Amino acid sequence: MKRNNAWFIALWIIIFIGIAFFMNSAKQKSQIVDLKYSQFKQNIREGNVNQVVVAPGMIKGEFRNEKGELRQFKTVPMYDIDLIKDLEENKVLEFSGVEQNGWLGPLLMSWGPIILLILFWIWIMRGMAGGGKQAMSFGKSKAKLAGSGLTNVTFKDVAGCNEAKEELQEIIEFLKDPARFQKLGGKIPKGVLLYGSPGTGKTLLAKAVAGEAGVPFFSSSGSEFVEMFVGVGASRVRDLFDQGRKSAPCLLFIDEIDAVGRHRFAGIGGGHDEREQTLNQLLVEMDGFDTKEGVILIAATNRPDVLDPALLRPGRFDRQVVVPSPELKDREQILAVHAKKVKLGKDVDLHTIAKRTPGFVGADLANVVNEAALLAARNNQESVNMYNMEEAIDRIFAGPERKSMIRSKEELTRTAYHESGHAIVAKMLPKTDPVHKVSIIPRGASLGHTLQLPENDKHTLTKTEALSRIAIMFGGRAAEEIVYNELTTGAAQDISQATKLASRMVTEFGMSDKIGPLALQRPNEEVFLGRDISKDSHLSEKMSEMIDSEIKKIIDNGLKTATDILTANRKMMDDMVEYLLERETLNAEDIDKIVKGEPLAPYEKEKPANKEYDKKEPPAPQKEAVIKNIIKGETVSE
C-alpha cells in the first residue's frame, strides 16, 4: 500500500513539473517574435539588435521593435559569411554561438508531451481497472475463514445440547470418513438448519462441528448477501459455494439465514426483489452441489416459521435440529464451563444458581458469571462469592439497583404492601412456585419485585396453575386497595401480564368452559410477509363479545381471589411490611417464618459481601489489575 502511494505521489509530481515547464515554455514562446532573415539583417543595420546567439539551426536574440519595446526574436540562419562583420560594424553589444545540441534535448522537446500523455493515460486505465475490481468485488462472498481454516472449538466447549450433538455427530463422521457412507449408497444431508431462541449456542455448535471434524469453517451472516446493488447477493452466494468446493471437505455456516430466506413473493417487493433473487440462487446452489464434494451447509435462525418452504424441503436443509433452552442440568454444566475462567469462593453452589435461573440461555448464564466477577472486583474481593452471583442474577433479571433513588416513607410503605400482597397470595394458593425473595429495592423500572422460582423446569401449564398465576399478579393491586382504598399506577405491568395470560387461556388453550376447545387466536403473521394485511377479522361480533366476557370473568375471579386471601391474612401482610421496611429484602426462609407467625431474628445491617473472602482496600492503581485477575481466575497478590 505504501509503495503504491509513493508511485502515485511521484507520478503527480512529474505531471506537475511537466505542466509547469510547458506552460512556461508556451508563455515564453508567445513573446518571441519570428523575423525573416532579411528583417533580422535590416534591424542590425538600423542598430536595433542588442544581443545575438547563433546556433546551428536557429539565431535568437533581443531587439527593439518600432515602438521601442525590447523583445525576443528568432530567425532561421542562412549561409552568410558577412554576419559577424555586420554585427561588429553596427555595434551589437553581445553576440555568441552555441555548439551542437545533444539528442536528449530535442527528443524531450519533441516527444515529452506525448510521453506525459501516455503516462497519464496508463494511470487513468489502472485506476479504472482498480475501480472495476472494486466494483466486481461486490459480488465476492464476505465469508470469513476461521483462523488458519480450522476452529479450536469442540463439543467439550459446548455444555448441554446433548440431543443436538447426537444429531450432528453423523455430519462429523461423514466429514472424517465419507467413504464409509458412500460405499453403502447413503447420502449425507446437504444442509442442516439449527433453530432455537437467541443465545442458545447455535453458532458455537456449528463451530464445534467443524472443530470435531477438523475441516475448514467458512462463516457469514444472512445480511451480508443483501446489498443496494441488484444481483450482488446472488453473486456472493455463488462465490461462497465456489470457495467451499475449492476447500472441500468443509463447512459453510450462514447465521441468521432468515435475512435472505423469507417467503418469496409475500405481497411486498415483487418477484424481482433483490432478497428473492439471492434466495433463488441459494436454492439453486444447494441443489447443484453433490454430497460427494464434501461441502455441507449449516444455517442458524431463531425464526424458522418465516423461512421459504422450498428452503426446508428434503434435498436442501434435510435435517432441522432444534437447540432448546437449557434444562437444569444443562444450565449447571454451562455455568461450570464459564466459571473455569473465574476464581470462585468456597460458598458458591452452581446447582443453586442453576435452579435460580430457569429460562436463562447460554448467553444469559455467561453474563451472570461475568457480572458476578465484575461485582467482586468492584468490592475489592479476592474471589467471587455466592452473594455476587445472587446479585448478578438480580441485575440481569430486574435491572441494576437504583441506589440514588429517593422515596418518601409513604411510597416505601405502599411498595412494601404491594410486594407483600404478591408474596402472601403466592404462599396461600395451591400449585404455585415457591417464593424465593421479596424486595422493595428499586431495580430498573420497578420499585420492588417478588421472585418465584420453580423447583423443576416446567414445560406445560395446568388451568389451576394459570388461574393461580393471575391471582398472584393481582395480589399487589388487591393489597393497595385493601389498605389504602385507592389505586395507583404501580400495578400496570401486572394487569398487562394477567390480561395476556387470560386471553391465551380463552383463545389458545381452550380453558374456557363457555367457549370450549376452540383455537380462536389469529396466527401471528408478520407485516413484512405481506399477508392478512387487508383481511377482516375472522371472528363474528357475537364470538368477540363472548371472548371478552370470558377474559373479564377470569380477571375478575383472579382479583377476587387475591382480595379474599389478603383480607383473611391482614396481620400476616402487616408483619411482612414491617420486616420489609426494616430489612428491604426477605429471603425464602424469612417468608416461611412470617407465614407461620414466627418472629425473625434481630436484624443487623452489615456489608452484603461474604467477609470470609473480603480483603483490604488495595491501592488505586491496583484496582484494574484486581478485575483482570478475578476474571482470569488468578489470585490477588498482596
Nearest Cα neighbor of 219 from 249, 265, 252, 180 is 252
- Closest by CA position to 178, among listed 8, 170, 67: 170
**62 backbone dihedrals φ, ψ, rounded to 5°:** -120, 145
71, 91 in Cβ contact below 8 A?
Answer: no
Q: DSSP assignment, residue 384?
A: B
Q: Which helix (H) or strand (E) holds 234?
A: helix 232-246
C-alpha grid cell for residue 382?
479476592
What pairs with residue 298 in β-bridges? 192, 253
Cell 389504602 found at:
484
Q: How far apart are CA 388 and CA 230, in angstroms?
A: 53
SS3 string of 325-376? CCCHHHHHHHHHHHHCCCCECCCCCHHHHHHCCCCCCHHHHHHHHHHHHHHH
Burial class (CB in 10 A: 0-12, 13-18, 19+), 132: exposed
Q: How large is the angle between the packed helices 492-507 and 475-484, nearest 10 degrees?
A: 130
> For residue 126, which phi and psi values (nearest 5 degrees)?
-65, -40
Among residues 419, 480, 481, 550, which one is catalytic?
419
DSSP 269-282: S-TT-HHHHHHHHH
Q: And the C-alpha cell for 116?
A: 506525459
Q: Sheet holding 144-145: strands in order across? A: 144-145, 217-221, 250-255, 295-301, 191-195, 319-322
Closest CA to 467 of 414, 513, 399: 513
If one counts every other C-beta atom within 10 angstroms of the C-beta of residue 102, the result is: 8
Give the integer Cα–Cα distance in Å for 117 and 113: 6
385: number of Cβ within 10 Å: 25
Please confirm, yes or no, whether 419 is among the known catalytic residues: yes
Q: Give CA separation, 553 vs 464, 474, 517, 558, in Å.
A: 15, 14, 17, 9
d(CA 43, CA 35): 10
- Would you mind telling me the total number of residues written for the chain in this entry? 638
Residues 6+ apart with CB under 8 A from 286: 190, 191, 297, 315, 316, 317
Residues identified as active-site? 419
